[in-house]
Chains A and B, each alone.
Chain A
Amino acid sequence: MIQLFHVYKNYGPNVALNDITMRVDEGEFVFVTGPSGAGKTTLLRLIFGVERPASGHIVIHGINLIRSSRHKLDLLRRKIGFVFQDFKLLASKTVLENVAVALDVTGQPQRLVRKKTHQALRSVGLADKEKAYPLELSGGEQQRVAIARAIVKEPLLLLGDEPTGNLDPDLTKEIMMLFRSIHMKGTTVVIATHSRELLEDTVQRKIVLSRGRIIEER
């Protein structure tokens, strides 16, 4: 469960988030939307614990991020998958190594790491690309590698920051299907997007941000 209480965040004189109070229940699928600069990415980064708010409290699965040590935040991040708009893949490592890194940091035996990585790559349809390097893949394939890395650790929470921002409509549909299937297995999913097409015909809850404030929830 995600809970935010009166969260403020600013970068110098620019206010990125202004008095945000919200809640996402366990197993929920939520879209955070709004125009560019509304504060979507900042909100996700705060939930992920890579940035700290100026004030307010953020509680993820019972852990108050403001009061947690760096080490505790590192451990919490192992339970959260994050899919970045720019994929954040390492060009010098193979697809397999890029995905396995999320498990390597947990210290699991390499045999288990390999097994889980193969499974994750199979679930995103990239079983035959394990030995390829990211730059040898299409944009859609790279995004699927990033998703495989986010889900390989079987996270309690999956965050996506414009995960289809660089993809064409067909690939967008394909990626969204993936997110829905992950959600079906019980993972809480929060997707930040400004794409209207993505939100059409969706039954999931939408939180609309504008200039750092929540202006609508539907």
Chain B
Amino acid sequence: MTLRLLPYFLKQALVSMKNHRVVYLIGLGTMVVSLLIPISFSVAFTNLNAWIQEWGRGLSFSVYLAEEVNESKTHAIASHIRALPGAEITEFISKERAWTELKRTLGSQAGLLEGLPENPLPASFEVLFKDSPAEEANPQKIKRMLENIEGVEEVQYSEEWVNRFEGILSLLGVVGLVAVGLLSMAVLFIVANTTKLAIYARREEIEILKLVGATDWFVKTPFLLEGLIQGVLSGLVALLVLYSGYLFLSARKVQFLGMPVMDFVFMPKEHVLSILALSVILGLLGSLIALSRFFDV
């Protein structure tokens, strides 16, 4: 088969798609929806990953002070903390403020605190370690450094939280892969059936082509091109729909679990290309499956 015939095959494929546009549009719509699900997973996965990494980079610690620490001692501790590499005190929460905030959080149940003889809450510093060198960014090491400062009673950081999110992320990855597998099969089924309908609609033409000496590949190629076009179009439309959604969300600052979320990111280029490649492969494979039933490939 020569490349010279490509314009002929392309014309045949496009004319057929135009003549059976309703069937193709329904197939295309279903394929777009099927592809949108795994693509959405990919975007969600990319963003969650980026956010978690960002949180990991900016390690945040709560440094609780001992009961007996007075104001001058508190200043000394603050100087000590600032001297640590990459450390920045974002907030100081005095005993009184901690008490007021606890009462506000409890709201109507604040009466529970009335029986207490005195304010048991410690004063604390919120400390953020940003852009520390990799070897210094070890949360356990930083925790130990903070605990060694005289007057510091306890240090807490968001390790557990980050770890939990990383667990959720791995689970999402597995669910995403399963979804891609199942939905790929659905897409294959859709393309195979659309091609089958196209073959039925053109069976008379196929018979005549065979009678005038067309080879099997001459008959099959336009159908394969239809599958390929359907695959490319559905991949492009699905990506476009998702990109519009991404632009819409990016324009708004979304909050996630009460925390302001960093900027949204779209999929990396490699993911976009993989999705397009997957759509093309599924389109071609679906057509081949349908054709194999008619031509004993």
Residues of A within 8 A of B (CB): 48, 50, 70-71, 74-79, 82, 88, 90, 92, 101-102, 104-107, 109-110, 149, 153
Quick check: A74 and B214 within 8 Å, CB to CB? yes
Cβ of B213 and Cβ of A110 under 8 Å apart? no
- Assess whether A50 is in contact with B211, with CB atoms less than 8 Å apart: yes
- The reply to whether the CB of B1 lies closer than 8 angstroms to some CB of chain A is yes
- List, in ascending order, chain A residues with CB within 8 A of B205's CB: 90
Residues of B within 8 A of A107 (CB): 1-2, 4-5
A102 close to B212 (CB less than 8 A):
yes
B residues near A, CB below 8 A?
Answer: 1-2, 4-5, 8, 19, 204-205, 207-216, 218
A-B contact count (CB 8 A): 50
Q: How far does the alpha carbon of A76 sit from the alpha carbon of B215 in the complex, in Å?
A: 11
* B213 near A75: Cβ-Cβ < 8 Å: yes
Q: A90-B205, A104-B8, A105-B218 are in contact. Are A82 and B2 (CB under 8 A)?
A: no
CA distance A77 to B90 in the complex (A): 85
User: Could you list 21 A-B pairs, sorted by A, with CB under 8 Å?
Assistant: A48-B211, A70-B216, A71-B216, A74-B214, A74-B215, A75-B215, A77-B212, A78-B212, A79-B213, A88-B208, A90-B204, A101-B209, A102-B213, A104-B8, A105-B212, A105-B213, A106-B213, A107-B2, A109-B4, A149-B212, A153-B213
Shortest beta-carbon contacts, A-B, top 7: A78-B213, A77-B213, A105-B214, A102-B212, A74-B215, A74-B213, A105-B213
| A82-B214 Cα distance, complex, nearest whole Å | 14
CB pair A101–B5 under 8 Å, yes or no, is no
What is the bound-complex CA distance between A24 and B4, given in angstroms? 38
Which of B205, B207, B208 has the most C-beta atoms of chain A within 10 angstroms of its own C-beta?
A: B208
Which residues of chain A are within 8 angstroms of B208 by Cβ–Cβ distance? 88, 90, 101
B214 — which chain A residues lie within 8 A by C-beta?
Answer: 74, 105
Q: Which residues of A contact B213 (CB under 8 A)?
A: 74-79, 102, 105-106, 153
Chain A min CB distance to B2 (Å): 6
Which chain B positions have C-beta within 8 A of A79?
Answer: 213
Contacts of B5 in A (CB 8 A): 107
Q: A89's closest neighbor in chain B, by CB?
A: B208
Nearest CB on B from A110, distance (A): 7
A88→B207 CA distance, assembly (Å): 9
CA of A110 to CA of B2, assembled, Å:
13
Separation in Å of the A74 CB from the closest CB of chain B? Answer: 5
Q: Is the CB of A101 within 8 A of B212?
A: yes
Which chain B residue lies CB-closest to A106?
A: B213
Interfacial chain A residues near B212, Cβ < 8 Å: 77-78, 101-102, 105, 149, 153
| Cβ–Cβ contact A82 & B8, under 8 A | no
Nearest CB of B to A80, in Å: 8
Nearest CB to that of B214 among chain A residues? A105
Q: Which A residues lie within 8 Å of B215 (CB)?
A: 71, 74-75, 105
Please indicate the chain B residues that have their CB under 8 angstroms from the CB of A149 in the complex.
212
Could you say which residues of chain A place their CB within 8 Å of the CB of B19?
92
Distance, CA A79 to CA B208, complexed state (A): 15
Could you tell me the distance between the alpha carbons of A70 and B4 in the complex, rounded to whole angstroms?
24
A90's nearest neighbour on chain B, judged by CB, is B205
Which residues of chain A come closer than 8 Å to B1, judged between CB atoms?
107
CA distance A107 to B209 in the complex (A): 13
Question: A82 — nearest CB in chain B belongs to which residue?
Answer: B211
> What is the CA–CA distance of A135 and B8 in the complex, to the nearest angstrom?
25
From A48, A74, A109, residue with most partner B Cβ within 10 Å: A74
Chain B residues whose CB sits within 8 angstroms of the CB of A110 once the complex forms: 8
Which residue of chain B has the shortest Cβ distance to A98 in the bound complex? Answer: B208
- Bound CA span A71–B213, Å: 9
* Residues of chain B contacted by A109 (CB below 8 angstroms): 4
**Nearest chain B residue, comparing its CB with the CB of A80:** B213
Contact B210 A88 (CB under 8 A): no
Q: B70 to chain A: closest CB distance in Å?
A: 95
Query: Which A-chain residue is minimally distant from B295 (CB atoms)?
Result: A70
Complex Cα–Cα for A78 and B4 (A): 19
The docked-state distance in angstroms from the alpha carbon of A79 to that of B4 is: 22
Q: Which residues from A are CB-within-8-Å of B2? A: 107
B residues within 8 A CB of A82? 211
